[in-house]
């Protein structure tokens, strides 16, 4: 079978039962994609296939013939981290880091899904199109809920995604999303007064 991985066409010989996760890690040595539960529960194995996030432990490699797969290794450009990778570092969005590549791949997709107008289970008003400006902390928590973190970095992960979304909004000269960091800053200012 052949597929594109991070922009390179790869030809693989895999057993029909081989998951995409195992093909990436064992055949292509792309070990940035992690195997946590291996049964669709933790999100550590999240990659993008044809622009959508998928759990690579839950899909067979053989089903990806001709598809375009992006892994965490494919996010940086010319040695520069993807803005979400940089934001995870800035906001301490990880401790042990085991879940982080899956978190980042999901976070990139969350912002794209919001830009595309996709609602979530946390969306209050389904009658109007969802926009990036609607990506509240509650929306981020819901949309990232498939990615578990045993180190419980959740507040920082929400801040990370909110800031990355806010930066994109600023490109369109829209108001940034308020993060937990912002709120803590405002609270401490209020305490000084
Ligand atoms: S390893 Fe795929 S969801 Fe946990
Ligand atoms: S940073 Fe350790 S599991 Fe998430």
Domain boundaries, position 5: 1-74
pLDDT of residue 62: 97
pLDDT in tens, 21-66: 999 999 999 999 999 999 999 999 999 999 999 999 999 999 999 9
Give the CATH number, domain containing residue 51: 3.10.20.30
Same domain for 168 and 99: yes
Same domain for 82 and 156: yes
Alpha carbon nearest to ligand 1 atom 3, residue: 40
The reply to whether ligand 1 has any atom less than 6 angstroms from the CB of 55 is: yes
The reply to whether ligand 2 has any atom less than 6 angstroms from the CB of 95 is: yes
Q: How many CB atoms lie within 10 A of CB 38?
A: 15
Same domain for 171 and 91: yes
Q: Which of 49, 74, 99 is the last residue of a domain?
A: 74
Is 152 contained in some domain?
yes
Is 46 contained in some domain?
yes
For residue 53, the CA-to-ligand 1 centroid distance in Å is 12
Cα-Cα-Cα-Cα torsion 173, 162, 96, 121, nearest 10 degrees, comes to -140
The pLDDT mean for the chain works out to: 91
> Whose atoms come closest to the Cα of 99: which ligand?
2
Reported as a pLDDT band with limits 50, 70 and 90, residue 172 is: low
Is 193 contained in some domain?
no
Contact 162, 137 (CB under 8 A): yes
Same domain for 68 and 82: no
The reply to whether ligand 2 has any atom less than 6 angstroms from the CB of 98 is: yes
């Amino acid at each position: 079978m052949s597929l594109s991985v991070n922009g390179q066409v790869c030809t693989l010989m895999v057993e029909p039962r081989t998951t995409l996760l195992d093909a990436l890690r064992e055949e292509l040595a792309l070990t940035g994609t992690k195997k946590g539960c291996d049964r669709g529960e933790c999100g550590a194995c999240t990659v993008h296939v044809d622009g959508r996030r998928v759990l690579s432990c839950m899909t067979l490699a053989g089903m990806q013939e001709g598809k375009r797969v992006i892994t965490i290794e494919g996010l940086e450009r010319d040695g520069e981290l993807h803005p979400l990778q940089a934001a995870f570092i800035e906001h301490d969005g990880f401790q042990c880091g085991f879940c982080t590549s899956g978190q980042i791949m999901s976070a990139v997709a969350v912002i794209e899904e919001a830009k595309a107008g996709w609602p979530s289970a946390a969306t209050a008003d389904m009658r109007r199109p969802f926009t990036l400006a609607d990506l509240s902390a509650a929306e981020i928590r819901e949309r990232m809920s498939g990615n578990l973190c045993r180190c419980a970095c959740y507040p920082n992960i929400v801040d990370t995604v909110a800031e990355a979304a806010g930066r994109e909004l600023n490109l369109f000269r829209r108001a940034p999303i308020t993060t937990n960091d912002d709120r803590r800053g405002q609270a401490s200012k209020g305490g000084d007064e």
